[in-house]
Amino acid sequence: MLPKVKSSRNAATRTIDLIVFDLDGTVIDSAQDLVEAARHSLRQVGSGDRSFSFIRSCIGGGARNLLLRCLDDDKKDRSDAALAYFRNYYEENCTQHTVLYPGVADVLRFYAGKKRLALATFKIRPATSRILQSLGIADCFDVLVTADDVRQPKPDPECIQTILRLTGLSAEDALLVGDTPTDILTGKNAGVATCAVTYGIGTRKQLSDARPAFIIDDIRELKEIAPI
C-alpha cells in the first residue's frame, strides 16, 4: 500500500466537511464507453482510428479536449462536428460498460448524510445523471457540477468554486479526490486539500510529482483521511 503523502501539517490535520470527487477514473471506470464514443466520432469525420490505450491516455478535461488529442491534424478543424457526434453517441451509450471502482459504493454510503459530497466533472449533465442513476449512487451527492454548469475545464478552479458557493462552505473545509495531476492542480488552484487515487488514469509517478496532500491506492483509505 502506498503511504499517505502529507504536503503540509494543515492538510493532514484539518477537519473535512466537504468531499469533492472527480468522476472518470476516480468514481467510475468509464474508459471503454469513452473510447468507443471517441472512435465513433473519429469515423464520422473521416479521421483515423486510435488504439484503446492511446484514447484512454487522452481522457480528461472534457470531450472536446479528448477529441482534439485524437483527431488527425488535418481533421482538427472538424472538432465541433466530432464533438456533436460524440455527445449524441455517448449520451445514448454511456452505461454500456461503465462500472464503479471497487469500494466506491461503500465509501459513498459511509459518508452520505454525514459529510457533504459533491461531484466535479466536465462530462455533460445528461450523461452524468444517467450514469449515476444506473449505478445507484445518484442520491449520495449533494451537489453535481458538470460541463453544463461551468465555462472553464480543470485545472481552472471554477468547478470547485461553484461547489463551495452552492454548499456555503470554505476551501479550508474541503478535500478534492481525483486520479490525475490535472485534478490535483485544480484542487490547489481552488485552495482545497487534495487526495490522489492511483487506480485511475494518472500514473503513480505523475501523481506523486503533482504533490497532493494524500495518495491512496484504495478509495476505502479515504475513511482514515476524513473520519466521521
Residues forming the active site: 22
DSSP string computed for 127-140: HHHHHHHHTT-GGG
**CA nearest 23: which of 128, 135, 137, 168?**
128
Cβ neighbours for 99, distance < 8 A, ≥ 6 positions apart: 28, 29, 135
Give me the sign of the Cα torsion angle 27, 32, 33, 39: positive
Q: What distance in Å separates the CA atoms of residue 190 and residue 164, rounded to the nearest whole number?
A: 10
Residue 222 in grid coordinates = 479515504
Count other C-beta atoms under 10 Å from residue 107's C-beta.
Answer: 23
Q: Where are the alpha helices (DSSP H) in 1-78?
A: 9-13, 31-44, 52-57, 63-70
